[in-house]
Structure 1
Amino acid sequence: MGNTDKFEMIADIYDTSERIQIAKVASNAIRKCLTDAKGKTAIDFGCGTGLVGMELLDDFKSMLFLDTSQKMLKQIEQKISAYNIQNAATLCFDFERDSLTGLKADYIFMAQVLLHIKDIEPVLSRLYEVLSQGGHLLIVDFDKNEKIDSDMVHNGFDQRELSETMTEIGYRNVQTETFYTGSKLFMGQDAAMFILDAVK
C-alpha cells in the first residue's frame, strides 16, 4: 500500500496525542454507523498501530487488523498481548498488489487510508469481494482540499464523486456526511473529515 516505507520508519513514534485524539473522533463516527455489530466480524483496513480499531474492539465479535507495514502490526501485537485481547488478529497484506481469497468480513473500515492509495478503484473492488453480502464498508477521510498539493497522497476526496465510484463498483445505499472540522488537520492545513457508509 502507498507510503509503506514511511510508515515502517515512524511505527515506534506514531501514537502521538493528536493522532490518538483524531482516532477517537473517527471511531466515534464509525460506531454511529454500526447496527447489530456485536456478533459481526470486522477488518481495520490500513490499520496502522490500531488506534481506531482498538477503540472499536468491544463493538464486534472479532477484528482483523490489516496493514502493509509489519512494524505497525508489531505495535498492535504488543497491545493485544499487553491487554490480553482475545478477539483480535493481525495480517500483513497489500491489497494494491493482490487479491486475498477466502477472507470475509461483515464490516470493513478504513480511517485516513484511502488518501494513501494511488489507484483507489481496484482496492475498493477487492474490498467489495471481501465483504459478506449485506456487509458495510466505512471510509473516514478528508474532504477535497485544493490547498494541498502532494505527490504522496490524494488531496482529499469529493464525496459525490467517491459515492459515484462506489456505486459503479456495485456498492449500494452509499451515504456520506462531513462530521468533523479542525485546524491543521491535513498536511498542516485546516480540513474537514467525512464518513462514507456503503453496503454490499
Structure 2
Amino acid sequence: MFEDAPDRPSQFDQVARTWDDNPARVELARVVGAAMAESLGLDGTRTVLDYGAGTGLVSLWLAPRAARVVAADTSEAMLEVLREKARAAGLDTLVPLHWNFEQPWPRELPRPEALAASMVLHHVRDVPSAVQAFHALLPEGGRVAVADLAVEDGSFHGEGMHAFHKGFEPEALASLFAAAGFGRVRTREVHRLVKPGPDGQPRTYPVFLLSARR
C-alpha cells in the first residue's frame, strides 16, 4: 500500500505477511482487478503502473493482461511478499518498485501507458498533487483506473490503520482528475465490501471505480 513518507517504516510493513489472509480483501481485488482490466482496455501490449500495489493482489490480476506491470509501493515488506508471489508464479513481467509519485520515474523502466490504483488514494495526504503527477507521467491517450472508498464515517480502518481521507465523493474525485487535465472521466460503483464495524455488526462500504484518459 502507500504512505506519504517513503523512507520511514510503514504501517503496512507490520501486516504484510498476513495481508492476503483476509478473504474479503482478496475478493475485492478480484472484482476491482477485473473492472480495471476492462476499463484500461488491456490487450497484452501496455505497460501498466499499479500504484500502491501492496502485496500485488491487483497486480497479479493485471499481469497476464499486460506487457508489463510495474508494481509500485513504499512498504518494502509488502513488496517482498509481492516478489515471492511473482517468483512462485513465474511472472518476469511483474516489476516491484519502491517508489512514490513525488520521485522521478526510474530511467531504466519504460514509462507506463496505463495506471491503476486500488484503495490507495485515501492513504495519500495530497491527492490533487498525486493526480497531477499521474497526468504528467502518462502519455497522451494513457488510461487511468482508480478504485476507492465512497465517503464513510471513519470506521472502515478502525484504530489499527491510518488514512488521510474517509473515502471520497465520486463526483469530487472526478473533478480533481478533470482539473488535472484528464478527459472522459467516469465513475461507477463496482463493489460493496462488508466487514464488522466498531460495534461488531456488519457494515457495508461501497467501492467505486474512476476511469479517465490523459
TM-score by structure 1 length?
0.90
Whether 2:53 is the aligned partner of 1:47: answer yes
The whole-number CA distance in structure 2 between the counterparts of 1:186 and 1:46 is 25
SS in 2 for 1:72: helix
The whole-number CA distance in structure 1 between the counterparts of 2:25 and 2:182 is 30
Whether 2:144 is the aligned partner of 1:137: answer yes
Match of 1:2 in 2: 3
Match of 1:104 in 2: 111
List per-residue Cα deviations over 1:27-68 (Å, max 9, x = no partner).
111122132532111011100000011011111111111000
Match of 1:157 in 2: 168
List per-residue Cα deviations over 1:87-126 (Å, max 9, x = no partner).
111110122x434365611111010001111111111111
Q: Alpha carbon RMSD of aligned pairs, Å? A: 2.2
> Do the aligned residues in 1 keep the contact of 2:50 with 2:116 (CA within 8 Å)?
yes
Taking the TM superposition and a 5 Å limit, the aligned residue runs for 1:89-100 are: 89-95=95-101, 97-100=102-105
> Do the aligned residues in 2 keep the contact of 1:148 with 1:189 (CA within 8 Å)?
no
List per-residue Cα deviations over 1:147-193 (Å, max 9, x = no partner).
64979221111111111111111111101101222322888742101
The whole-number CA distance in structure 2 between the counterparts of 1:30 and 1:71 is 25
1:127 shift after superposition: 1.4
5+ residue gaps, structure 1, are none
Query: Number of aligned pairs?
Result: 199
Whether 2:166 is the aligned partner of 1:167: answer no
The whole-number CA distance in structure 2 between the counterparts of 1:109 and 1:122 is 16
Q: Report runs of 4+ in structure 1 exceeding 6 Å deviation.
A: 185-188
Whether 2:25 is the aligned partner of 1:12: answer no
Match of 2:30 among 1, 24, 27: 24
Match of 1:191 in 2: 205
The whole-number CA distance in structure 2 between the counterparts of 1:130 and 1:186 is 38
SS in 2 for 1:132: coil
Task: Give the letter aligned to residue 2 of structure 1.
Answer: E
TM-score by structure 2 length?
0.85
Identity of aligned residues (%): 23
5+ residue gaps, structure 2, are none
